[in-house]
Amino acid sequence: MKFIFSLMLLGLFNIGLAQNVTITGKITSENNEAVSYASISIKTLKKNTVSDDKGNFEITNLAPGKYTVYFSAMGFTVEERNVELIESQNLDLSIILKENVNTLQTVEITGRKEKSYRNTKSFIGAKTEIALKDLPQAVSYATKELIADQGSIRVGEVVKNFSGVSQFTFYDDISIRGFRINGGSNTQLLNGMRTSTGFWKQPLANYLERVEVLKGPSSALFGNASPGGVINRVTKKPLDQAANSVSFSTGSFNTLRALADFTGPLTEDKSLLYRLNLGYENANSFRDLQFDKNIVLAPSLSFLPNDKTSVNFDLIYTSSKSILDRGQSTYEDNLYSTKISNSLNSTNDYLNEETYIVTTSLNHQFTDRLSFSGSYIRTGYTEDLLEHRGANKYASAGDGTTIPTSIEMQVFMRKRKRYIDNLSAFFKYEAKTGPLDHNLILGYDYAQEQVPAGGSQLQATGYRNAANTGSIATYNPANKANYLLDAKGNPVPNVAHFDLTNPSASQQLKDMSKYFYAARPFDPTFYSLYGVYLQDHIKFGAFQALIGVRYDEYTDKENYKKAAEKKVKQHSFLPRFGLTYTLNPNINLYGTYVKGYNPQTASSLSNPNAGGPFDPLESNMIEFGGKSSWFKEKLFVTVALFKIQQKNTLYPANDTANPDLMRAIGEEESKGIEIDLNGNITRNWSISAAYSYNEAAITESPIESEIERQKPNTPRQQGNLWTRYNFTDGALKDFGLAFGTNFATTRTLSQTDTQTLPGYTLFNAALYYNINKFKIQVNANNILNKTYWVGGYDFIRLFPGAPSNWLLTLGYSF
């Protein structure tokens, strides 16, 4: 019996030895660069692995025999290697993958496998994939790795990493090179397609692969857009390898957050890939009464039936319950007179929003030279709002003066919807004429936005009339007898003033039936935009030229769905020219000239009380710069010098009878220098840094005092640094440390000539511990508890930044 048992043990031992063969190796490209995260598979054994960031790979525990090993990576042809494994003899392979330009994506279909702060390619700058170093225009970006390391969850938190980009308010409201864009303007992009958010709340970022900003006018690519730049949110796409993760976060302000990310193939041949991102957030705020309850559902499917065709489907559904925060109010001309936590809301306020964004895209390669790409995106938005908010002025006293510690209030109850459609289709053709290589694109875009009938608002404003049967919009002391007066002779407000000396009492639950309301309809609106464009990316020796032209026609239906309905059309002819010169393998120099425009019609302004009609915004930009890679392509640096000019910009007319009234000024100019740096200094040391100097001012205006005044909420200087180091040896093995700082100089407020916001410098840090598949992360923000403001309109509407706070995250990957 012992003999038989010994034979069995010996047999098992020999089987173990027989399986103990290993294949190792390194995968490089034809120019001897490591191919990171390439797929390696032995299909007969169902063995799969991926190369690391240096291109190295290993497959262990193989039995002797003959096999075919497959090597593949996005943008390269598949390499097959027939091998014979001999017992106890490990095999080392050197694999060179050949670039296959035909497999480069014209739209982003499958996910990015890089896992660093660096991104090498983009689709935003040329409509198709292009290396960032070859794009003759500056692009700032943040990858999902940087976003996760900083514990960020909203785009407004992410943009601090970008040169020349900052928050304008709490809302989905950003300033780029001194020019404001917001989520409700229908000029933000999702995967290169036009969409919008509800404006009031910033969208969550857990389903994003990266956030990027193409600097300068982009109308030649996407139609009407801001001259400062355009924000593109790139969603996570399916991977051809299984990768799953879940995380839970808790921290300051009673924050609770749960996120999940699942991806991989659904079929054995990897022709159908999926990704599912889920998010749940329940958090309060440092601001009184504020909260956010969010649910995110974001599935994505990629169908790859062959090497010539790919189809992608994306859905992003978000449900948000919160309170609309209109900002902090202070005593008149006294910035530090109230706490940054004070909000003007009441307990019964709410903002319920629901958004869905559906995207479908098709990419097909007809021949080695000709391909087609078509995409369609549909956005639906619903808003249900009740808010107590300031009337943007201090309370009126009976003698016509103001009460500097009380804010005149108003109440809005509003419901409305908005739908946006965008269709994009283009053909790409590769050609060669003599020494010139051409990458031609001929395309067509169509976009439309509709606000359907039924949108309306009840608003309670102003002061009670003498009979206490209604209200008058504003108080006029010359007609004092027309108003209901209190014991002190002051007019009685329709909605009680907010007492800044006793905010708690003013925030209590209100009886909504006590107000006098006026109804305001939101008339249905409809506008559309179509564009035809031609672009050629020409390569000749060390030079590359990106030349394009676009014709746009914008149609606004005034008095939409009424008897007086008429079409108002505007059109624009938009050239674009850029030149890149490769000085050496590590440095590219570039220059570019682009034009932009943006209509200013009733629909695009979304405000019937703004006045007008106004001429469209017209802009142009000249930019020169350089792009450089260091440490074997691991660290990427961009330096840009730019000058942007825009005319016909609208600013508040400061008309007390109509606070919504706008006026056009002559010309604005923004010029400066920007530096962005992203990537790795060593394998364990990551860094993201940015700096900008920007002179953005009004250069022509009928009001002389405005000339040379710095544009609102635009610091002349701002910058950011974030760096992380991972320990791989010694007592701190598996630990990581990160440190960050960001600063901004003094800023001018948007609706006053005399009030400014002080500059600030913030310090942040993080600690990481990774062991096996578990991650523990602690982020500490604003460590020194600095009081600061991200932006504001005036001292009645200020938007303070968060005080010192922390976030603990536990994660598991499998």
CB neighbours of residue 739 within 10 Å: 14
Mean pLDDT of 605-610: 65
Residue 625: its H or E element:
strand 617-630
- Report yes or no on 166 lying in a domain: no
Which residue, 97, 123, 154, sits at the end of a domain? 97
Any idea which of 99-108, 235-244, 498-507 has the lowest mean pLDDT?
99-108
Beta strand ranges found along 286-369 (DSSP E):
291-306, 309-322, 350-365
Residue 206 lies in a domain: no
Question: Which pLDDT score, from 0 to 100, does residue 421 have?
Answer: 95
Asked which of 97, 123, 142 is the last residue of a domain, the reply is: 97
What values do phi and psi take at 576, rounded to 5? -150, 130
Report yes or no on 258 lying in a domain.
yes
Percent of the chain whose predicted confidence (pLDDT) is above 90: 66
pLDDT tens column, 174-198 = 999 999 888 777 678 899 898 887 7
* Angle at CA of residue 436, ends 434 and 439, nearest 5°: 130
In a domain, 45, yes or no: yes
- Predicted local distance difference test score (pLDDT) of residue 108: 57
pLDDT recorded at residue 8: 45
Are 579 and 591 contacting, i.e. CB atoms less than 8 angstroms apart?
A: yes
> Mean pLDDT in the chain?
89
Of 97, 121, 144, the position where a domain reaches its end is: 97
- What pLDDT digit, counting tens, does each position of 541-588 carry? 999 999 999 999 999 888 888 888 888 888 899 999 999 999 998 999
When pLDDT is cut at 50, 70 and 90, the band that residue 432 belongs to is very high
**Model pLDDT, residue 19:** 57
In degrees and rounded to multiples of 5, residue 522 shows phi and psi of -105, 100
* Integer Cα distance of 482 and 471 in angstroms: 10
324/610: higher pLDDT:
324
**What does the radius of gyration of the chain's CA atoms come to, in whole angstroms?**
29
Q: What share of the chain has pLDDT > 70, as a percent?
A: 93
CA 607/CA 601 separation, integer angstroms:
9
Number of independent structural domains in the chain: 2
Contact between 409 and 388 under an 8 Å Cβ cutoff? The reply is yes
Domain hosting residue 25, numbered range: 21-97
CATH code, domain with 30: 2.60.40.1120
608 pLDDT tier (thresholds 50, 70, 90): low
Residue 638 has a pLDDT of 97
Let me know: does 207 contact 190? Beta carbons within 8 Å. Answer: no
More confident site: 704 or 561: 561
Predicted pLDDT at 188: 81
Which among 508, 288, 520, 505 has a CA at the least distance from the CA of 413?
520
pLDDT interval class at 228 (50, 70, 90)? very high
Is residue 706 scored above 50 in pLDDT? yes
pLDDT digits (tens, 9 = 90+) for 71-101: 987 667 788 999 988 888 889 999 998 866 4
Q: How many CA atoms lie within 13 A of 102 on its CB side?
A: 14
**pLDDT tens, residue by residue, 3-42:** 444 544 444 444 444 457 899 999 988 767 788 778 898 8
Q: Give residue 15's pLDDT.
A: 42
Tell me if residue 749 falls in helix, strand or coil.
Answer: coil
**pLDDT tens per residue across span 205-217:** 899 999 999 999 8
- Mean pLDDT of all residues in 386-399: 95
pLDDT of residue 10: 45
The reply to whether 126 falls in a domain is: no
* Predicted confidence band of residue 204 (pLDDT cuts 50, 70, 90): confident
- 605 confidence band (pLDDT: 50, 70, 90): low
778 vs 568: which has the higher pLDDT: 778
DSSP code string of 690-750 = EEEEEEEEEEE-SSGGGBTPBPTT--SEEEEEEEEEE--SGGGTTEEEEEEEEEE--EE-T
Q: What is the CATH number of the domain that holds 313?
A: 2.40.170.20
pLDDT (mean) for 54-79: 85
pLDDT at 202 over 50: yes
Q: Name 60's Cβ contacts closer than 8 Å, sequence gap at least 6.
A: 22
